[in-house]
Structure 1
Amino acid sequence: MQFKTISMIGLGYIGLPTAAVFASRKIKVIGVDVNQKAVDTINRGEIHIVEPDLDMVVHAAVKEGYLRATTTPEPAEAFLIAVPTPFKGENHEPDLSYIESAAKAIAPVLAKGNLVILESTSPVGATEQMAEWLAEARPDLTFPQTHGEESDIRIAHCPERVLPGHVLRELVQNDRIIGGMTPKCSQLACTLYKSFVEGECVVTNARTAEMCKLAENSFRDVNIAFANELSIICDKLDIDVWELIKLANRHPRVNILQPGAGVGGHCIAVDPWFIVYGAPNEAKLIKQARSSNDYKSEWVLNKIADIVAELRVPDRSINVAIYGVAFKANIDDCRQSPALYIAEKVLEMPGVSLSIVEPNIGILPESLKSARHLKYCDLGVDADLHVLLVDHTSFKSMKRPGGRVIDMKGVW
């Protein structure tokens, strides 16, 4: 089957680049998003997120008529869902409401022979739950959970596995995990992705595909927790953790990741909790790693508070400069960002004035509106305490600033 029209539900950090790559292969793409501003921006051939080279691809796709955005789903041959899957509450319960809303939105325009793919990183069983929501909304159609290979609608899970800042390249070059609810579902999904994927499309079932993405990010979370714990130990023992890790990684079977101020983003900081929620008594190490990485942010805050207390003098505020509030280097995404959390807490400290040095974000989040926002720091920043939390490229060319310094990324 050759796909002529596909629909991308969700035009965020994953949905828009995926839609643009499909459109660059001369496939008509109808992008759907609830954000009218994002829809209008895309239809002008512009982008509302930061991702290298994406602006050029989107502009060309819109100009050539292969990409169009709307707030209302329209008929297509394949529907790809890339919406948020956060957790809710103190128990980190997975929130599938965005997937449910997307499923109910596309249900009225589904037709026999359509393919529906859930790309959102999801807890195990989410694809089957989505299929149930679709079946409830369209009793006139048959689905894999009841009719297997003979179903009217094909359903699969295919998680994204790309690195922000390199999304366009990795969408094309990385292997893709295809988890169909039946073999025919997987086969059809492979046909779709092979229109642009140069890596291998590896077939499994939906549950294994869901767990694969969770396992990948949990592995990294555990490794980072080890690195973060090492950094705390090294700080106590007066050892340079960056040199230590560099030396340890010379061992042919050792690859310690880099420590930081915690772990953020929509994947590594969230996905392990999906495993913990599904198997709370078994996921002991995964849960501990999550807790350890969350603790690292509190550890950084304690170091900041201690230095602020040392520097405090009567009748003058202590000037603190925080470098970076995105969740990782060279992007504008603040989701689950430990740096953002630390900045918010520093802003609450009495007798502290805060400057945020963040070149990748046009307007700071509302929670930091009272802080001073500096997009450029070529001439240096006047502060009593400099706290580097994110290793943006522009910070690496800076000289070590004067005053007290807390460098959580080993840049200075």
Structure 2
Amino acid sequence: MPVDIEQQVSVIGLGYIGLPTAALIARSGARVLGIDVSPHVVATVNSGRVHIEEVDLDGLVQGVVARGLLRASTQVEPSDVFVIAVPTPVSEDHAPDISFVLSAARTIAPVLKAGDTVILESTSPVGTTEAMRDLLATLRTDLKMPGQGGVPDVSIAYCPERVLPGRILVELIDNDRCIGGITPRCARKALGFYRQFVRGQCITTTARAAEMVKLVENSFRDVNIAFANELSVIAEGMGIDVWEVIRLANRHPRVNILQPGPGVGGHCIAVDPWFIVHGDPDNARIIRTAREVNDAKTDHVVAKASDLIDAYPAADIACLGLAFKANIDDFRESPAVKVAARLARRYGRRVKLVEPYAQDLPVDFVGTGAELIDIDIALERCGVFVVLVDHDIFKSVPVEERAGKIVYDTRGIWPDQPMAAMPVARVAGVA
């Protein structure tokens, strides 16, 4: 579909989804304004740089900023399309918090005009798009909102992303999109917008269905990871190599068990299932249990790692990885951070953090005495290794460089030192 070069688009929130989305829309030819509450983020983008790590994003942002197609501000301006990509966290009791979404709606309300389209991309509990519509209707009584009878002045829709960190720019374009409108007219309006830069199939539905689709996708992953994590605990207790069990079981043509780890992290999979549980707590039994299993796996890893560390009281401890998945700089809800932080609070200066995607000591470790070092120094100085993230750089360490090390591997990247086996060898140089 030809791009409307006169189209003005505002993206509210310049985080891990908002900034790549804004840059891709700008590359398609539209003029894009990115809105963020952080002056640092705004200044960084306006200088053609990025504040997050994502493959090829730095070059893309530099290019569209240089061409005058993307700029950033803390202040909203009139636009034709508003894309909201702000956080939707959960509280300590796992209740969804849509305050950032509603705050974004309040921000854009004064500049809305007839003919505008508002699209929510934030992962949200069912009914959030309608709640946003109701708030806008209250704030702008001069504009007719969709679903309130007659032809609306403003179109409102929901379209969640479904991307993999490290491949965001590719998947924002190539993956299919589920576009849910408050009304069918709203869905069609949003469909026309996404077809300007998305190559994947764009499928329309209702806003509530699209909201549920996003939650179901992440809950499906969470439930399947929970099976792998529970299996790993059972196998460990039986003295069986879980990695071999999974590898052999997956040779069955209809079995595809995922890989276990120290828990589940990231802003999506570790959070979104709670939205479904909160929406129907009586019936979301498997989904709730999966969340509890995955959270408990983090506690299990801390306990097992502590037992191992206590057996070698003179050895320094290397915690390998802090990101929530391999080869990215995203530490949100990371089980690796939770494990390493608890170990650092207990063992202090003995704990060394090895995270190639961190430039500074994360705030979780301030005051613990833990130190951020690289993998080569860790191999020289540390006797106990707790593998928490399967970064490629860790996979590349050969067996001979790990000789004599005591390893608790939660990712299965060093198969000659399986997670299920409790090492009994002495650490080199440790009494």
Q: Using the alignment, how far apart are the partners of 1:364 and 1:94 within structure 2?
A: 29
Check conservation: 1:321, 1:381, Cα contact below 8 A: no
**Range that drifts further, 244-253 or 190-199:** 244-253
Q: Name the counterpart of 1:251.
A: 252
Residue 134 (str. 1) matches residue 131 (str. 2) = no
Q: Name the counterpart of 2:162.
A: 161
**Counterpart pick for 1:100 among 99, 102, 105:** 102
TM-score by length of 2: 0.92
Q: Using the alignment, how far apart are the partners of 2:349 and 2:52 within structure 1?
A: 32
Residue 355 (str. 1) matches residue 357 (str. 2) = no
Q: Using the alignment, how far apart are the partners of 1:381 and 1:204 within structure 2?
A: 57
The residue matched to 2:318 in structure 1 has which SS?
strand
Q: Using the alignment, how far apart are the partners of 2:100 and 2:379 within structure 1?
A: 43
Instruction: Give the letter for the 1:122 counterpart.
Output: S
Change (3 A) 1:379 1:356: closer
Check conservation: 2:352, 2:378, Cα contact below 8 A: no
Size of the aligned set, in residue pairs, is 406
Check conservation: 1:328, 1:391, Cα contact below 8 A: yes
Residue 18 (str. 1) matches residue 21 (str. 2) = yes
**Counterpart pick for 1:407 among 406, 409, 412:** 409
Q: Name the counterpart of 2:329.
A: 332
Check conservation: 2:354, 2:378, Cα contact below 8 A: no
Q: CA deviation at 1:364?
A: 2.5
Q: Name the counterpart of 1:69.
A: 72
Residue 391 (str. 1) matches residue 390 (str. 2) = yes
Query: Pairwise mapping of residues 139-150 of structure 1 onto structure 2 (< 5 A)?
Result: 139-147=141-149, 150=151
Query: Pairwise mapping of residues 306-345 of structure 1 onto structure 2 (< 5 A)?
Result: 306-312=307-313, 316=314, 318-345=315-342
Q: Name the counterpart of 1:269.
A: 270
Q: Using the alignment, how far apart are the partners of 1:368 and 1:145 within structure 2?
A: 49
Q: CA deviation at 1:96?
A: 0.8
Query: Pairwise mapping of residues 195-234 of structure 1 onto structure 2 (< 5 A)?
Result: 195-234=196-235
Percent of aligned pairs sharing the same letter = 52
The residue matched to 1:300 in structure 2 has which SS?
helix
Instruction: Give the letter for the 1:154 counterpart.
Output: S
Q: CA deviation at 1:403?
A: 2.1
The residue matched to 1:69 in structure 2 has which SS?
strand
Q: Using the alignment, how far apart are the partners of 1:72 and 1:147 within structure 2?
A: 32
Instruction: Give the letter for the 1:15 counterpart.
Output: G
Q: Using the alignment, how far apart are the partners of 1:225 and 1:388 within structure 2?
A: 19
The residue matched to 2:148 in structure 1 has which SS?
helix
Q: CA deviation at 1:252?
A: 1.6
**Range that drifts further, 396-405 or 173-182:** 396-405
Q: Using the alignment, how far apart are the partners of 2:377 and 2:54 within structure 1?
A: 23
Check conservation: 1:360, 1:375, Cα contact below 8 A: no
Change (3 A) 1:27 1:351: closer
Q: Name the counterpart of 1:374.
A: 373
Which string of whole-angstrom CA distances, capped at 9 and with x for unpartnered residues, describes residues 365-399 of structure 1?
A: 21213311024437724213100100111111012
Q: Using the alignment, how far apart are the partners of 2:375 and 2:99 within structure 1?
A: 39
**Range that drifts further, 182-191 or 367-376:** 367-376
Q: CA deviation at 1:108?
A: 0.5
Q: Name the counterpart of 2:294.
A: 293
Extract unaligned runs of 5+ from structure 1: none
TM-score by length of 1: 0.96
Change (3 A) 1:257 1:183: same
Which string of whole-angstrom CA distances, capped at 9 and with x for unpartnered residues, describes residues 310-336 of structure 1?
A: 222xxx5x4111000111111111111
Change (3 A) 1:141 1:245: same
Extract unaligned runs of 5+ from structure 2: 415-431
Which string of whole-angstrom CA distances, capped at 9 and with x for unpartnered residues, describes residues 200-235 of structure 1?
A: 001110000000000000000000000001111111
**Counterpart pick for 2:82 among 79, 84, 87:** 79
Which string of whole-angstrom CA distances, capped at 9 and with x for unpartnered residues, describes residues 167-202 of structure 1?
A: 000001000000001111111111111111111001
Q: CA deviation at 1:135?
A: 1.1
Q: Name the counterpart of 2:236.
A: 235
**Range that drifts further, 301-310 or 76-85:** 301-310
Check conservation: 2:243, 2:412, Cα contact below 8 A: yes
Q: Using the alignment, how far apart are the partners of 2:76 and 2:55 within structure 1?
A: 28
Q: CA deviation at 1:349?
A: 1.1
Instruction: Give the letter for the 2:391 counterpart.
Output: H
- Alpha-carbon RMSD across the aligned residues, in angstroms, is 1.4
Change (3 A) 1:118 1:63: same
Q: CA deviation at 1:352?
A: 5.8
Instruction: Give the letter for the 2:283 counterpart.
Output: E
Q: CA deviation at 1:147?
A: 2.8
Check conservation: 2:36, 2:72, Cα contact below 8 A: yes
Check conservation: 1:357, 1:377, Cα contact below 8 A: no
Q: Name the counterpart of 1:170.
A: 171
Check conservation: 2:349, 2:370, Cα contact below 8 A: no
**Counterpart pick for 1:119 among 111, 118, 121:** 121
Instruction: Give the letter for the 1:326 counterpart.
Output: A
Q: Name the counterpart of 2:182.
A: 181
The residue matched to 1:297 in structure 2 has which SS?
helix
Q: Name the counterpart of 1:302.
A: 303
